[in-house]
Copies of this chain bind each other. A is one copy, B any other.
Amino acid sequence: MPTRPAGHKAIIEAARKEFSEQGYGATSIRDIAQRAGVSLSALYYYYKGKQELLVAILDEGLDAYFAACDKALESAGDDPAERLEAIVAATVRFRTGHPVKSSIVLTEGRSLEAEHLERYRKNEERASQQFRDIIDKGVEEGVFLTPYPDDARRAVIAMCNAIAQWYRPDGPVTEDELVERYVSLALTVVEYRPRAARRSLRA
């Protein structure tokens, strides 16, 4: 149930691409209108201004990512390893599948004016928090042996996020293969040791 009239999609899409390619500061609102194939006035008819476009794009970008994470975590059980796998997989798929959304969300937060900044940073924080919850629980339960949970978390997030910068769909690695690798890397980073394995080691 979109609250906005038609024409919106094209404008947002164009703005996203421009912001992503040139950065918010270097993008002119005329570039966006032209790319969207609408008049400058039409753009202002739909949106209050450049900043509102950015807010809309950033919010939507975060929401989409959270939705993807939520969905993945829903089907996962309680097991920290399973949950970490789920969120890493969701993140990797989001980075490869939505590189433009990803790059904006990851770089243009700083272009927000004071009015929107705080709320956005707090919302953004939820992403980090999800990883934190999972990893901390794994450490608590003794399945993640990393001695530095905070740094492990940052490392996992950073490596997943970086995908948006280099991944090309026509590259040598399939998306599924990439997911598998990053899940494996993430488990390595947190030094995952399944209970069964540990028991067997003890034996």
Which A residues fall within an 8 A CB radius of B? Answer: 21-27, 107, 110-111, 146-148, 151-152, 154-155, 157-159, 161-162, 166, 178, 181-182, 184-185, 188-189, 191
A182 to chain B, nearest CB (A): 7
- A–B complex contacts, Cβ < 8 Å, 19 sampled: A22-B25, A23-B25, A23-B26, A23-B111, A24-B25, A25-B25, A25-B27, A26-B26, A26-B111, A146-B188, A147-B184, A148-B184, A148-B185, A151-B181, A155-B159, A155-B189, A185-B189, A188-B189, A188-B191
Q: Contact between B181 and A166 (Cβ–Cβ < 8 Å)?
A: no
Question: What residues of B have a CB within 8 angstroms of the CB of A166 in the complex?
Answer: 154
Q: Contact between A185 and B152 (Cβ–Cβ < 8 Å)?
A: yes
A191 to chain B, nearest CB (A): 6
